[in-house]
Structure 1
Amino acid sequence: PSTVRAGVMLEVPGLIFQLPALTKRVDFISVGSNDMLQFLFAADRGNPMVASRYDDLAPAAINFLGQVARHCAETQTELSLCGEMAGDPLAAMTLIGLGYRNLSMSAPSIGPVKAMVRSLDVGALESYLSGLSQSPAHSLREKLRAFAADHGVMV
């Protein structure tokens, strides 16, 4: 190849404090949502004793992912996300509202996520999400489902 692009997987929440330094050195960032959220919540998502602490649509997760997306947009750093969130239509809808445009998912998830994308008014979702960022709720899942139902989004 004539050029080599360098990137980083963001899977450790503490790296959010290093984003300014990272984005000066890389061409792209890919968020590994499974590990990153597990570490963010200090909860093993596969352990039923603590799984209730792990909600990828909790305000803390959405604020974290939104901060990464905003920084990447400001620095014109390409951003993607891989993991279970990308293949879940409701979570993917939320990610799109936060500014994620590259989502990596398993093949069976493509159809449902594609249907959601085709039915989504991104501008309305972006406005809606800006009002939720400081919600005291444990999860924004029900509010996001209500948004989808009210706006005809296929989740």
Structure 2
Amino acid sequence: MPVSSENKNGPYKPQPIKKVSTTTVVNPGFFAYTNLTGCQPYYCAEQVHLINNITVTALTIIIRVQKTSAATYHGVANNFWTGYINSNHTDNGSQIIYTFVLDPTQTVVASTTWYVEAQMDLYGTSQVTSADTYTVSVTGGGITNSYSGHF
């Protein structure tokens, strides 16, 4: 699946995402934005796109999908090199939680664009995505930052 240069709000303009931690400096070499692909009454995919201008040595992305409809886990996707991202999911009854973690033996070189994707089946009911959230924790250049946002 190609990486889209547009998000649901029009052409992409890189902006740092909201910082969660107040103890670290936002690293200007890392950006993220969201994208909804193919959302319809039977299927939806939520993507977090990442742009890194620094070498990334650790990365964790968590996407939390609120089960406001009859959403169930469908799958995951990403465009990282094979073996770089380990993914998992849990369903606690009210949320489907998708976790993507950079394999600790890997590093992601600077000047690349990546995405991870949480896929869900909807069974005829559209998903309200505004309550769905993501968290990104990234380490690059010896600095760890955490960011969060919603779809």
TM-score when normalising by structure 2: 0.30
Point out which structure has higher relative CO (alpha carbons under 8 A, 6+ apart).
2
Q: TM-score, normalised by structure 1?
A: 0.29
Q: Write 1 or 2 for the structure with the bigger share of strand.
A: 2
Q: Which has the higher helix share?
A: 1
